[in-house]
């Protein structure tokens, strides 16, 4: 009996997860990727002789991948070597004001007490309780659901479920809600930064995003070989179950036959027939017509004003001194509100940015001998499709960024020709129809999360996965979207009688 054929377009983490899950269930899977390597935004670039992770750098929610591998009778730990971080991140406001967040909550309580006083430490305990409650309320009915909906969130509890809605704080901005826990503006700035993990402003995003802080407290790991090793492992596992991955292949059209997906056409003209297609691309590419007119209605365009953050990044090999770096470090601007006002209200690079520095050769306070690998990142507007970032503007942004680091005590001295900048325009070229937005739709306003499309589209046989779909951006969330796409596809095949209905272990179901 011939196997069902599935094409997955894009080998970001969501596409790779879909391919792995479906190939493990015996489907004939072909992954088509326009780049030369897997990973999508989870990219690794060569700077001199060094390979530097230049996309996501934080690994959390390990259970998502433990479940994925268990469903295929594999052990995640056999394929990826992880090390838990004791210090989640180091934060600095000037040369003297520094604060570490620890994996051990009580150590963080003590650190906040030493930094800002006992009242703020008590506020942190309350913040932890509430952020955990938000996460627990949302995990099953929302994060794991294939489609975002208020009905699904309230569930079968009816009025009781509706009464729980205020507990996830959807109607308060994150910044205002943080004022109920912290008087110290530095702490509001620190915990407000979690809104940027979803590409959003803490002044505009709902306090629901407090759940991100709980996710980090549950564990942050470093991956041996860097984040890109995760993409390689997923690709290798998909291939081990028979999936084919073709790199350097640009898909120009999704083919429709009789109102149902029939396959794809490549830029080369080659046609690949398929019973179903999973698109691990930004949803805006459909409305832009990048995959043909018949599928324009598969997903709505993201309005310019609703785009999430982009970034200006520097991947560098450099000598560092003057500041005791950890793996993850954040250097805060002096005026947080002005920073987001510059980006979202004025569509420009922030005049004084908050700077994230990932020191990829550090897992403790002991610096390695010689130059180190760094990713330096500042938030930027998603205007890469309508603004040209020339060399002078990039140089000015670098001067502001590295000058700000020096004022916080960190001196980075890149080796000659060992630093590569990436602008919002560069991100837009790599990920078309985004303007460089790295997180799809921003999470501004309480309805934003319900506006992300789910796995199924209006076109039979066409499914969506990736950070611009539900449940949202970030490596584990994108992975959840990939699992949802795979589960939805299997359920639809089963309902048509072309696939034997079974359950996927680890919490996903084909029903």
Mean pLDDT of 2-22: 94
DSSP β-bridge partners for residue 357: 329, 376
Contact 93, 332 (CB under 8 A): yes
* Average pLDDT in the chain: 92
CATH code where residue 230 lies: 3.50.50.60
Is there a single domain that holds both residue 281 and residue 336?
no
Residues 6+ positions from 316 with CB-CB distance below 8 Å = 47, 52, 373, 374, 375, 376, 412, 414, 415, 418, 419, 420
Contact 433, 380 (CB under 8 A): no
Is there a single domain that holds both residue 170 and residue 245?
no
pLDDT, greater one: 156 or 416: 416
Is there a single domain that holds both residue 182 and residue 287?
no
- Residue 456 domain flag: yes
pLDDT confidence of residue 219: 96
- Residue 242 domain flag: yes
Is there a single domain that holds both residue 399 and residue 345?
yes
Domain tally, the chain: 3
Q: Is the pLDDT of residue 473 over 70?
A: yes
Mean pLDDT of 197-220: 96
pLDDT tens, 257-315?
999 999 999 999 999 999 999 999 999 999 999 999 999 999 999 999 999 999 999 99
pLDDT, greater one: 494 or 428: 428
- Residue 365 domain flag: yes
| 3-class SS of residue 187 | helix
Identify the H or E element spanning 490. helix 475-495
Is there a single domain that holds both residue 333 and residue 408?
yes
Is there a single domain that holds both residue 421 and residue 457?
no
Burial class (CB in 10 A: 0-12, 13-18, 19+), 259: exposed
- Residue 172 domain flag: yes
pLDDT tens, 95-148?
899 999 999 999 999 999 999 999 999 999 999 999 999 999 888 888 888 887
Q: Is the pLDDT of residue 157 over 90?
A: no
Identify the H or E element spanning 191. helix 185-192
Is there a single domain that holds both residue 269 and residue 183?
no
pLDDT, greater one: 153 or 418: 418
pLDDT tens, 165-187?
667 787 899 999 999 999 999 99
Q: Is residue 150 very low, low, confident or very high in pLDDT (cuts 50, 70, 90)?
A: low
d(C-alpha 165, C-alpha 149), whole Å: 13
202 lies in which domain range? Answer: 134-217
Is there a single domain that holds both residue 335 and residue 398?
yes
- Residue 451 domain flag: yes
- Final residue in a domain of this structure, among 217, 236, 266: 217
Residue 449: other Cβ atoms inside 10 A: 22
Is there a single domain that holds both residue 292 and residue 263?
yes
The DSSP call for residue 143 is I
Percent of the chain past pLDDT 70, that is, above it, reads: 93
Q: Is residue 506 very low, low, confident or very high in pLDDT (cuts 50, 70, 90)?
A: very low
DSSP strand pairing (310-321 vs 372-380)? antiparallel
- Residue 421 domain flag: yes
- Residue 252 domain flag: yes
Is there a single domain that holds both residue 144 and residue 39?
no
pLDDT tens, 406-445?
999 999 999 988 999 999 999 999 999 999 999 999 999 9
Is there a single domain that holds both residue 420 and residue 316?
yes
Q: Is the pLDDT of residue 51 over 90?
A: yes
- Residue 386 domain flag: yes
**DSSP letter string over 428-487?**
HHHSTTSTT-SSSB---STTGGGGS--SB-SSTTEEE-STTSTT-SSHHHHHHHHHHHHH
Q: Is residue 481 very low, low, confident or very high in pLDDT (cuts 50, 70, 90)?
A: very high
- Final residue in a domain of this structure, among 156, 186, 217: 217
Mean pLDDT of 336-346: 98
Is there a single domain that holds both residue 319 and residue 378?
yes
pLDDT confidence of residue 2: 58
């Amino acid at each position: 009996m011939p196997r069902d054929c599935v094409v997955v377009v894009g080998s970001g983490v969501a596409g790779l997860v879909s391919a792995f899950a479906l190939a493990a269930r015996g489907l004939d899977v072909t992954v088509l990727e326009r780049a030369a390597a897997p990973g999508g935004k989870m990219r690794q670039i060569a700077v001199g002789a060094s390979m530097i992770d230049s996309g996501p750098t934080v690994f959390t929610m390990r259970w998502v991948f433990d479940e994925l591998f268990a469903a295929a009778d594999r052990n995640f730990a056999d394929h990826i070597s992880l090390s838990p971080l004791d210090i989640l991140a180091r934060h600095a406001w000037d040369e003297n004001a520094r604060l570490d967040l620890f994996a051990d909550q009580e150590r963080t309580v003590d650190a906040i007490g030493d930094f800002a006083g006992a009242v703020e430490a008590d506020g942190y305990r309350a913040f932890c309780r509430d952020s955990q409650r938000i996460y627990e309320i949302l995990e099953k009915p929302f994060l794991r659901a294939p489609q975002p909906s208020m009905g699904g969130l309230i569930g079968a509890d009816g009025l009781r479920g509706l009464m729980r809605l205020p507990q996830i704080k959807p109607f308060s901005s994150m910044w205002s809600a943080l004022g109920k826990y912290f008087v110290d503006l530095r702490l509001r700035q620190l915990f407000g930064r979690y809104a940027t993990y979803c590409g959003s402003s803490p002044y505009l995003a709902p306090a629901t995003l407090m759940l991100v802080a709980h996710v980090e407290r549950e564990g942050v790991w470093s991956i041996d070989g860097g984040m890109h090793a995760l993409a390689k492992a997923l690709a290798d596992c998909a291939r081990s179950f028979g999936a084919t991955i073709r790199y350097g292949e640009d898909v120009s059209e999704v083919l429709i036959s009789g109102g149902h997906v029939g396959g794809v056409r490549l830029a080369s003209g080659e046609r690949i027939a398929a019973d179903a297609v999973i698109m691990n691309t930004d949803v805006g590419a459909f409305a832009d017509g990048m995959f043909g007119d018949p599928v324009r209605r598969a997903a709505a365009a993201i309005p310019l004003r609703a785009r999430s953050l982009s970034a200006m990044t520097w991947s560098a090999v450099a000598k560092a001194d003057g500041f005791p770096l950890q793996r993850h470090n954040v250097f805060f601007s002096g005026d947080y509100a002005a920073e987001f006002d510059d980006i979202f209200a004025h569509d420009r690079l922030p005049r004084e940015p908050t700077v994230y520095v990932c020191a990829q050769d550090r897992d403790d306070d002991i610096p390695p001998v010689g130059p180190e690998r760094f990713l330096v990142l500042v938030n930027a507007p998603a205007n890469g499709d309508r603004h040209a970032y020339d060399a002078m503007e990039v140089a000015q942004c670098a001067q502001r960024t590295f000058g700000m680091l020096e004022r916080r005590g960190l001196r980075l001295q890149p080796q000659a020709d060992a630093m590569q900048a990436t602008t919002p325009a560069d991100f837009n070229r790599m990920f078309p129809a985004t303007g460089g937005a790295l997180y799809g739709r921003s999470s501004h306003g309480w309805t934003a999360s319900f506006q992300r499309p789910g796995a199924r589209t209006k076109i039979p046989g066409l499914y969506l996965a990736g950070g611009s779909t539900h449940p949202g951006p970030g490596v584990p969330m994108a992975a959840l979207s990939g699992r949802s796409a795979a589960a939805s596809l299997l359920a639809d095949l089963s309902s048509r009688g072309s696939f034997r209905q079974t359950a996927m272990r680890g919490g996903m179901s084909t029903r």
